[in-house]
Amino acid sequence: MPRRLSQVPEIMKYILMFSISLMMLYGCATQSISQDQTSDEMATLHGSYWGSLRWYKAAIDGYDGIDFGLKPVMMVKLLPGEHSITAICFTGFDPLTTGMFAITRTISFQAEAGHSYQVRCGSDGSGKTFWIKDKTSGKVVGGYAPQ
């Protein structure tokens, strides 16, 4: 019996390390959409790959105060209205094609029901710039696109 009691702290240490690893891997934030909303009543925001040899990758790291932690996503559904998006830009190459360098910015835009948007990032000569483009009209609706 005394031997089992001495093993409890060791087992608890492994359980704690495993739990922390899972939280870091999958993040703590979850995103849910009301079941009352149809696709036509929602707006969709997509991440993007673009540039020469897909040099830039823009992903969504959160919106309206919801942080996705260590797991940015490539698509979210949004209710119509004003939104504040935290975007992350990866540039360069690595074996997993996620990029060598990452920079985050916050962009605000007005989402319309039934519209599809894309977050993008690039360089304007003085640094990184982020923008949100309406995929239907091609217009920039948030941020600043390089000329």
pLDDT in tens, 15-63: 656 555 544 444 433 344 444 666 778 999 998 876 555 567 888 999 9
Cα–Cα distance, 37 to 101 (Å, whole number): 37
The C-alpha angle with vertex 84 and arms to 31 and 89, in degrees rounded to 5, equals 85
Does the pLDDT value for residue 116 go beyond 90?
yes
The span from the CA of 20 to the CA of 11, in Å, is 14
Biggest distance spanned by C-alpha atoms of the chain: 74
Q: Give the per-residue pLDDT at 49.
A: 75
Residue 14 has pLDDT above 50, yes or no: yes
Instruction: Decide: helix, strand or coil at residue 19.
Output: helix
Beta-carbon contacts of 119 under 8 Å, excluding residues fewer than 6 positions away, are 45, 46, 47, 48, 58, 59, 60, 85, 87, 107, 130, 131, 132
What pLDDT, on a 0 to 100 scale, did the predictor assign at position 127? Answer: 75
> Sign of the CA dihedral 86, 43, 47, 131?
negative
CA distance 90 to 18: 29
Q: Among 9-13, 76-80, 85-89, 113-117, name the one with the lowest average pLDDT.
A: 9-13
Q: Residue 135: is its pLDDT beyond 50?
A: yes
